[in-house]
Amino acid sequence: MNDNLRQRSVVSFILHLAAPVLLSVFAGCMYPGEEQRPGGGSSESVRRVQAAVDEYQGKEGLLPILNSDADTPRYEKFVVDLEKLRSEGYLDEIPSAAFEQGGNAYFLILDEETTPAVKLMDLVTVQKVNDVQRQVNRYKSAHGGSLPAGEERYPGIYTVDAKSAGTTAVALSSVYSGQPQEFIMDGNGNIYADYSADIMYAVEQSGSTPAADQDLRTVLEAASYYVPVKSLPYLWMGGEPVPQPEGNL
C-alpha cells in the first residue's frame, strides 16, 4: 500500500473505531456518522422509502422512478419519484433528508432488475465535484487543453493542482467517514471523488480479499446507505483499491 493511502486509511480507521455503532457497519448496512449528517435519520428514512417502493412495485408492476437517459451514471440514474409515492398514498410524507424537502440527498434505486434497493445519493458531493469540474474546464480552455494536474496518484489518475485550478476553497468530506476526501482527475480532465480510503477500510472490516475483477464500489454499497457518487470503478491491485480510468473495465 502506498504511504498516502495507508495514512488516509489509518485516519479513517481511528475515526470509525471511536464510533459506538462500529459493529453495525456490515451487519446493519450502516456506516458510523450517517445519522449525524444533515437531514439525518437516514436508516429510518431509507427503510420507509424501501417499503413504499416495494409496495408500489408489487401493486403497479413497475418502479416509481424518474426518467433518465442511457448515459446517466449508475449512482445517479434511477432516482425515486417521492412525490408520486406521497401523492398516491405509499408514503405519508417525504423524508426530510430528501432534496425535495430541502435536504441534501436524492433517494435512488440500485439493482433495479433483480432486487431493487433504495440508497442515498449525497448531493453535497455531487455539487463539489461539479464545482471543481467547472474550474478544470475553464483552466483547460484557457491553457490550450492542458490540465491543472498535480501528482500521478494512480496510473492515468492525477490529483488536482488546486492553486492552478482555482479550487483551494472547495473542500470535500467523505460521506462515509467524515474525513477529508480528495478530488482526482483522469487524463481527459474528468473529475471524481476518491473513495480509496473508504474502500480500504471497508475491505479490512470485511475480513476477505476481493476478487480480482470485482468493482470495489460494491463493498461500499453493502456497507452503507450512501452510494459512492461521482466515482470511478476500483479494482484490488497490489493489496489496495486502485481507481480505473473509464473504459479499462
Q: Does 238 lie in the same domain as 133?
A: yes
Same domain, 87 and 182: no
36 has a pLDDT exceeding 50: no
Q: Among residues of the chain, what percentage have pLDDT more than 70?
A: 82
The letter for the amino acid at 200 is M
The model's pLDDT over 99-123, given as tens digits with 9 standing for 90+, comes to 999 999 999 999 999 999 999 999 9
Q: Are 98 and 156 members of one domain?
A: no
> Is 198 part of any domain?
yes
Is there a contact between 2 and 240 (Cβ–Cβ < 8 Å)?
yes
Residue 247, in any domain of the structure:
no
Cell of 126: 455531487
In this structure, the answer to whether residues 85 and 7 fall within a common structural domain is no
Instruction: Determine if the pTM surpasses 0.75.
Output: yes
For residues 25 and 226, what is the distance between their CA atoms, to the nearest angstrom?
Answer: 12
User: 160 and 230 share a domain?
Assistant: yes
Residues 113 and 129 in one domain: no
pLDDT of residue 7 exceeding 90: no
User: What percent of the chain stands above pLDDT 90?
Assistant: 80
Do 105 and 131 lie in a common domain? no
Would you give the end-to-end CA distance of the chain in angstroms?
Answer: 22
- Does some domain include residue 76? yes
Residues 107 and 89 in one domain: yes
Sheet holding 191-193, edge to edge: 149-154, 157-160, 183-186, 191-193
Domain that holds residue 166: 3-13+124-242
Per the structure, the count of domains in the chain is 2
Q: What pLDDT, on the 0 to 100 scale, is given for residue 1?
A: 55
Which of 105 and 4 is assigned the larger pLDDT? 105
Q: Cell digits for 178?
A: 467524515
- Please tell me whether residues 141 and 220 are part of one structural domain: yes
Residue 249 inside a domain? The answer is: no
Q: What is the pLDDT of residues 131-160, one digit of tens each?
A: 999 999 999 999 999 999 999 999 999 999
Answer with the residue of higher pLDDT: 96 or 1.
96
Question: 185 φ, ψ to 5°?
Answer: -140, 140
Residues 48 and 113 in one domain: yes
Strands (E), 63-144: 105-110, 117-122
* Boundary of a domain, candidates 121, 150, 167: 121
Question: Considering 82, 101, 121, which residue would you say is the last residue of a domain?
Answer: 121
> Is a pLDDT exceeding 50 seen at residue 241?
yes
- Do 234 and 175 belong to one domain? yes
In a domain, 82, yes or no: yes
User: Which of 121, 156, 182 is the endpoint of a domain?
Assistant: 121
Pair (98, 164) in one structural domain: no
CA distance 11 to 69: 38
pLDDT bracket for residue 180 (50, 70, 90): very high
83 found inside a domain: yes
Q: Supply the pLDDT for residue 152.
A: 97
